[in-house]
Structure 1
């Protein structure tokens, strides 16, 4: 068996393993939907709040996987995620999405974090692709229209981060404690364009297409540092940069994902530009590779200080980003990075005893003891890495 076929075979088995974990351990039979948190020790936190991002990512993962596996159980779990999101996270009254709900299904944090709306669109459009459930498409379109109505900045372009339930600007715009409190962020823009592109695949709307094209142009102008191949992360409303860390995981994720969005947009100039960016950003990300094949989390360039952790999602995006760069260049050295990174994942990140992936490891290879499932720990990055490579290798081998 060739190395590529072997890789595809192993990733197919790993996709099955990831989906089995989420099928077996995360269904909340008592309260509906999915468990809000499973800690490092595999303890279910029964009263944990449930996050909209986790639910939307579960919806995407099972919907996307069903297109490959044709496993009816995966379709049923996608339907479960859709039902729960549409009933309890979607704010049918004011047209937004609750950031989190209590275990009894009542709203907890009612802010409209645009990042979460984007993931809902991403999951809903993927679910529509497998179900043709019109309600899923209707909610996705409505969330897109709400983002355009409230978050889009007509004066300077780009999108603002967060609003109250009734769409007023709020002071704390951050996704999480580690983020800078700024009005425009790379992370949110990346996931808006990802969501819009996925929606365009099932809803061929001309205005949506032009919004994707403008967004890709905005990202190219402001977020991609064409000198060094890294991303700029935080800006104020008028595009004054607030310098921060180099995020290797986001660099390599954006490298392949933005090219995919450009291809979906069908804009030839953007496709050509983003092919160049994909190669350049993959080259720049190699600075963050360790000799064991793992990709470090972040670098603080001001102090030249490495955040010496190797997180699960960073490795998942590295698999796709470097494989994408290999496809664009046919450079076998880049393919070797993919093999080495997968070897690292198998050795250090896969939880061989309980399933799923550990949060990550520290520089001494000790495990980071954080959630196995939770607000930010989901099946989206790792299932997507498996799905992308399975499909790309399949096409290459034909």
Structure 2
């Protein structure tokens, strides 16, 4: 008997729907910046806003994506208003009308703080705009998404060696520091950027397909199949040079399990049976590897395995558990292997206990068991939006409701 036919699954759907509402309502209540427009650049653990914090495009594009998508699950006018607010703010303040693309960050008042063009960030802008077009059918939104798509293809794609380079200055010239964040290695090609370019192009192609989007998406899938996923161990190669040589110093279990289901979603969007039959087994193998190697002492998915000292980090980040929920559930649906279902249940139990703030709302960045007495990491900020956890709630509802394309 399929797990999805059991009576308790309806209760699970209700549980995830309730948490989806909690997430959306928290962002409506605490994150809207009435003074400067858009959303605050940071909201602290206690719900207080840092009104001086910079506003990052990644956070804002993820907000746009979330509120555009959540409207398909929850019919509340304030969610549609939040999506429109995010769209208008990005179009007005983040959009570089002179050189194209989106700025990396703004000051709290909307003036430009950092004008660099990070490929990762352009991708999230495409992702959010595509979702907004899906919701509203506003032509200007998809036109802007395709403008950013064209900029990526023109400036960021490596036409000689293949793949996408990391970062450029405002005028799309090369820069020496290409890192997405301080914790990353300074290398020109990363799995993280390619993963989210693929995610963006899949969404763009799903809502407004063109021959160009099909070609770009197919090419990205092939990059993962041929190079980015190491078929000797079914982990992602994290950091690579221009020639695709691997310089990784760790495995990232969170990115592995996220890739497993985003790769399958890209295959669904491309809708090519031959590519699906060739690459779908690869997505499943990546999920199997996370299940075999990445589970921590409390049923959580660990952050990473560091090659130096062969150290498996037990710390739990909110986004890793969110992606594990979706990745394991997809893998269960695609294979029928009940070990994936058990892993899904264990991750959800851990997340409810350790990450969801039952009193003040939203999710802790670090699990409670990993926090020290001085823990005060923001709940909304440059790298934390209602994207990983909100998306996980929606994806779980979709799969449990029998709406995954198989």
Q: TM-score range by the shorter chain?
A: over 0.9
2:105 aligns with one of 100, 103, 108? 100
CA distance in 1, matches of 2:368, 2:309: 20
Say yes or no: does 1:394 pair with 2:371: no
1:206-247 CA distance string (max 9 Å, x none):
111011001110121111011211111111111111122110
TM-score (norm 1): 0.97
CA distance in 2, matches of 1:277, 1:250: 15
1:110 maps to 115
Q: Does the 8 Å CA contact 1:95/1:146 hold for their aligned counterparts?
A: yes
Q: Does the 8 Å CA contact 2:355/2:368 hold for their aligned counterparts?
A: no
CA shift, 1:109, in A, is 0.2
SS in structure 2 of the partner of residue 108 of structure 1? strand
Q: Structure 1 residues 171 and 359 mapped into 2: Cα distance closer, same or farther (>3 Å)?
A: same
CA shift, 1:333, in A, is 2.0
1:263 maps to 268
CA distance in 1, matches of 2:311, 2:343: 24
Q: Does the 8 Å CA contact 2:316/2:370 hold for their aligned counterparts?
A: no
CA distance in 1, matches of 2:99, 2:71: 32
Q: Does the 8 Å CA contact 1:98/1:107 hold for their aligned counterparts?
A: yes
1:8 maps to 13
Which moves more between the two structures, 2-11 or 369-378? 2-11
2:380 aligns with one of 373, 380, 388? 373
CA shift, 1:369, in A, is 3.4
CA shift, 1:362, in A, is 6.8
SS in structure 2 of the partner of residue 16 of structure 1? helix
Which moves more between the two structures, 272-281 or 249-258? 272-281
1:254 maps to 259
Say yes or no: does 1:332 pair with 2:346: no
2:250 aligns with one of 225, 229, 245? 245
CA shift, 1:275, in A, is 2.0
1:294 maps to 300
List alignment gaps of at least 5 residues for structure 1: none
2:207 maps to 202
Q: CA RMSD in A?
A: 1.5
1:86 maps to 91
Say yes or no: does 1:64 pair with 2:73: no
Q: Does the 8 Å CA contact 2:120/2:166 hold for their aligned counterparts?
A: yes
List alignment gaps of at least 5 residues for structure 2: 1-5
CA distance in 2, matches of 1:396, 1:366: 41
CA distance in 2, matches of 1:54, 1:118: 12
2:224 maps to 219
Which moves more between the two structures, 227-236 or 355-364? 355-364
Say yes or no: does 1:177 pair with 2:182: yes
Say yes or no: does 1:310 pair with 2:316: yes
1:45 maps to 50
CA shift, 1:363, in A, is 5.8
CA shift, 1:268, in A, is 1.9
Once the two structures are superposed, the pairs formed by residues 19-38 of structure 1 within 5 Å of their partners are 19-38=24-43
CA distance in 2, matches of 1:173, 1:234: 12
Which moves more between the two structures, 194-203 or 300-309? 300-309
- The size of the alignment, in residue pairs, is 397
1:133 aligns with one of 135, 138, 158? 138
Q: Does the 8 Å CA contact 1:63/1:75 hold for their aligned counterparts?
A: yes
Q: Structure 1 residues 343 and 366 mapped into 2: Cα distance closer, same or farther (>3 Å)?
A: farther
CA shift, 1:274, in A, is 3.0
CA distance in 2, matches of 1:205, 1:28: 37
SS in structure 2 of the partner of residue 69 of structure 1? coil
SS in structure 1 of the partner of residue 316 of structure 2? strand
Which moves more between the two structures, 233-242 or 272-281? 272-281
Q: Structure 1 residues 145 and 224 mapped into 2: Cα distance closer, same or farther (>3 Å)?
A: same
1:292-331 CA distance string (max 9 Å, x none):
2211111102321123310000000000000011011111
SS in structure 2 of the partner of residue 374 of structure 1? coil
